[in-house]
Amino acid sequence: MDPHLHRLPPGPVDLRALTTDDTSGFDGGKSSGKQALAALGDELSDLQERLFAERTTGSGRRVLLVLQGMDTSGKGGVLRHTVGLVDPQGVKITSFKAPTAEERKHRFLWRIRNALPQPGYIGVFDRSHYEDVLIVRVHGLAEPATIESRYDQINEFEAELAAEGVVIVKCMLHVSADEQRARLLARLDNEDKYWKFNPSDVDERAHWGDYRAAYEIALERTNTEVAPWYVVPSDKKWYRNLVIGGLLLEHLRGMALRWPAADFDVDEQRRRLLDEAPVA
Amino acid sequence: MDPHLHRLPPGPVDLRALTTDDTSGFDGGKSSGKQALAALGDELSDLQERLFAERTTGSGRRVLLVLQGMDTSGKGGVLRHTVGLVDPQGVKITSFKAPTAEERKHRFLWRIRNALPQPGYIGVFDRSHYEDVLIVRVHGLAEPATIESRYDQINEFEAELAAEGVVIVKCMLHVSADEQRARLLARLDNEDKYWKFNPSDVDERAHWGDYRAAYEIALERTNTEVAPWYVVPSDKKWYRNLVIGGLLLEHLRGMALRWPAADFDVDEQRRRLLDEAPVA
């Protein structure tokens, strides 16, 4: 599948014109889609390990996968099924909730900077700094001028990260309102899923149009060359997971990761082990 | 396999009497061992999700898996192959290195407390507070009286954690000196593994006997009822991964994890969704 199929083109964004239940670019259904995702595992794992190895050379390179989307769009599912394909040792996941009292004392990017992956890691943001121009805008949780200034701040921040060697992959998990309703109802039909349900998720549906507008503005204004947006059709979970797996793979491939050279004399170390006194 | 097969009995410890290449309790070899581990995945995942769900009820329960062992004993392999079976979202891995200048300003358990998993999580320590009575003892990095006092401090600390709902699983990955040598040589034979090799690993082999003695003391003195040790034969990687998978599973089963009940009126929420005004 062409991983850039769902890359958002520059310019104004109309989310209603972007399908949520597309499976284009993949010639098959759910079961072959799941197999195709699993088949990415070996190469993803290999590249992730190269990235992890590279940090021993002092390289600053790392990956940051940003997951945004309405409730039930499947950020957790991507973590489990796609991010779960690689060694958890090299992954740093941060789930951003409503800011704490401590976090509120600082500028909005403070907690984001604190959660950045170290070199060599794949960092994943389950929600992110984009909440500060999404829910904050929808519910007027900050002054309009403050919100207005954040788009540029985000772009500067992401450009700075990119310059430091952070490969940024931003995915908007695009679901329809109908699919969200079906998923919320499914949670109510299954006692194992009650814990995932929050009555406030239903309240938020009344603001669906406002969220869409806030997303459209955010997507348009932060769709930069160094940190473009991908709008991932997410009504079909397997397709969403597969597309994001493909994007992760493509970005790792693009890093041309090499195994670090030895910074010691290999033959000498081999001799030391072969000639050593008995160890016991 | 009986998960308690490798539980260390109380009393003096003689590591030379505990085999490193045992595969007892499992009727098969490498390939069926790998399959057996994969077969634990579904139940491990289910129980991990229940644990993760439980945190929404205010429960303090969580799991702490402590991995200790000589270089090359496979702490990283356990992270990848065993811990990697569950949703990375619910896992917190901390790799402890030599303490930083900041960490050195505090008591030895300070950085450990800071790295504890939150309720609902499976925390994994790749090395741990035990380094403070292992490498520190072998190389005399603290006063003997200081080291001497640490065993009791560790027991008090772990008892405190257990009382707060932390289920502690401590595994010593037991490899032979010969197997370690073979693994170090293998790293030197493969350019993809140079990054894992450190000449100081060869230096440390000269202290093998001292490490064994330090482990024996630590294992004996911290082998408590609430936080017993498991000495896992680790010369065979697949067996090591399987044993630790079985231990994790057994401890999660022992927690009798239930899905949280709804803290809202399920029918009312269903009606709200079914009767809502059109969302778009």
Check CB contact of B197 with chain A, cutoff 8 Å.
yes
Residue A279, pLDDT score: 86
Residue B127: band (very low, low, confident or very high) from pLDDT cuts 50, 70, 90: very high
Query: Is the Cβ–Cβ distance between B254 and B228 less than 8 Å?
Result: no
| Residue whose entry in the numeric block shows the structure tokens 């098959």 | A28
Q: Which of residues 12-51 of B touch A (CB under 8 A)?
A: none
Residue B1, pLDDT score: 78
User: Which chain A residues are Cβ-neighbours of B185 within 8 angstroms?
Assistant: 270, 273-274
Residue B88: band (very low, low, confident or very high) from pLDDT cuts 50, 70, 90: very high
User: Which chain A residues are Cβ-neighbours of B208 within 8 angstroms?
Assistant: 279-280
Give the 3-state DSSP-derived string for chain A, with helices as H, strands as E and coil as C.
CCCCCCECCCCCCCHHHCCCCCCCCCCCCHHHHHHHHHHHHHHHHHHHHHHHHHHHHCCCCEEEEEEEECCCCCHHHHHHHCHHHCCHHHEEEEECCCCCHHHHCCCCCHHHHHCCCCCCCEEEEECCHHHHHCHHHHCCCCCHHHHHHHHHHHHHHHHHHHHCCEEEEEEEEECCHHHHHHHHHHHHCCHHHHHHCCHHHHHHHCCHHHHHHHHHHHHHHCCCCCCCEEEEECCCHHHHHHHHHHHHHHHHHHCCCCCCCCCCCHHHHHHHHHHCCCCC
Q: Which of B185, B195, B266 lies nearest to residue A53, judging by beta carbons?
A: B195
User: Which chain B residues are Cβ-neighbours of A56 within 8 angstroms?
Assistant: 195
The tens digit of pLDDT for each residue in A177-234 reads 999 999 999 999 999 999 999 999 999 999 999 999 999 999 999 999 999 999 999 9
User: Which chain A residues are Cβ-neighbours of B88 within 8 angstroms?
Assistant: 79-80, 83-84, 88, 91, 93
Residue B64 has pLDDT above 90, yes or no: yes
Give A89→chain B minimum CA distance, Å: 6
Residue A106, pLDDT score: 97
Residue A278 has pLDDT above 90, yes or no: no
Share of chain B above pLDDT 90, in %: 97
CB A142: neighbour CB atoms within 10 A? 16
Residue A280: band (very low, low, confident or very high) from pLDDT cuts 50, 70, 90: confident
- Which of A269, A274, A276 to mutate to test binding with chain B, by most B CBs within 10 Å of its CB? A269
Residue B231 has pLDDT above 90, yes or no: yes
The tens digit of pLDDT for each residue in B190-214 reads 999 999 999 999 999 999 999 999 9
Report the run of H or E that residue B171 belongs to, with start and end. strand B166-174
Residue A78: band (very low, low, confident or very high) from pLDDT cuts 50, 70, 90: very high
Q: Which of B89, B195, B206 lies nearest to residue A260, judging by beta carbons?
A: B195
The pairing of beta strand A229-233 with beta strand A166-174? parallel
Report the run of H or E that residue B51 belongs to, with start and end. helix B30-54
Residue A2, pLDDT score: 83
Q: Which of B188, B205, B269 lies nearest to residue A197, judging by beta carbons?
A: B269
Query: Is the Cβ–Cβ distance between B234 and B21 less than 8 Å?
Result: no
Identify residue B280 by its one-letter amino acid code.
A
Which residues lie closer than 8 Å to B183 by C-beta, 6 or more apart?
B72, B175
Residue B4, pLDDT score: 83
Residue A97, pLDDT score: 95
Give B158→chain A minimum CA distance, Å: 24
CB A228: neighbour CB atoms within 10 A? 17
Residue A123, pLDDT score: 98
Span B140-169, mean pLDDT?
98
Which residues lie closer than 8 Å to B75 by C-beta, 6 or more apart?
B67, B68, B69, B126, B127, B173
CA A74/CA A85 separation, integer angstroms: 16
Give A95→chain B minimum CA distance, Å: 9
Span B257-273, mean pLDDT?
97
Residue B251, pLDDT score: 98
Chain A to chain B Cβ contacts (< 8 Å)? 121
Residue B2, pLDDT score: 83
Residue B183, pLDDT score: 98
Q: Which of B84, B188, B208 lies nearest to residue A88, judging by beta carbons?
A: B84
Q: Which of B91, B188, B192 lies nearest to residue A88, judging by beta carbons?
A: B91
CB B57: neighbour CB atoms within 10 A? 14
User: Which chain B residues are Cβ-neighbours of A181 within 8 angstroms?
Assistant: 273, 276, 279
Residue A3 has pLDDT above 80, yes or no: no
The tens digit of pLDDT for each residue in A102-153 reads 999 999 999 999 999 999 999 999 999 999 999 999 999 999 999 999 999 9
ipTM of this predicted structure: 0.94
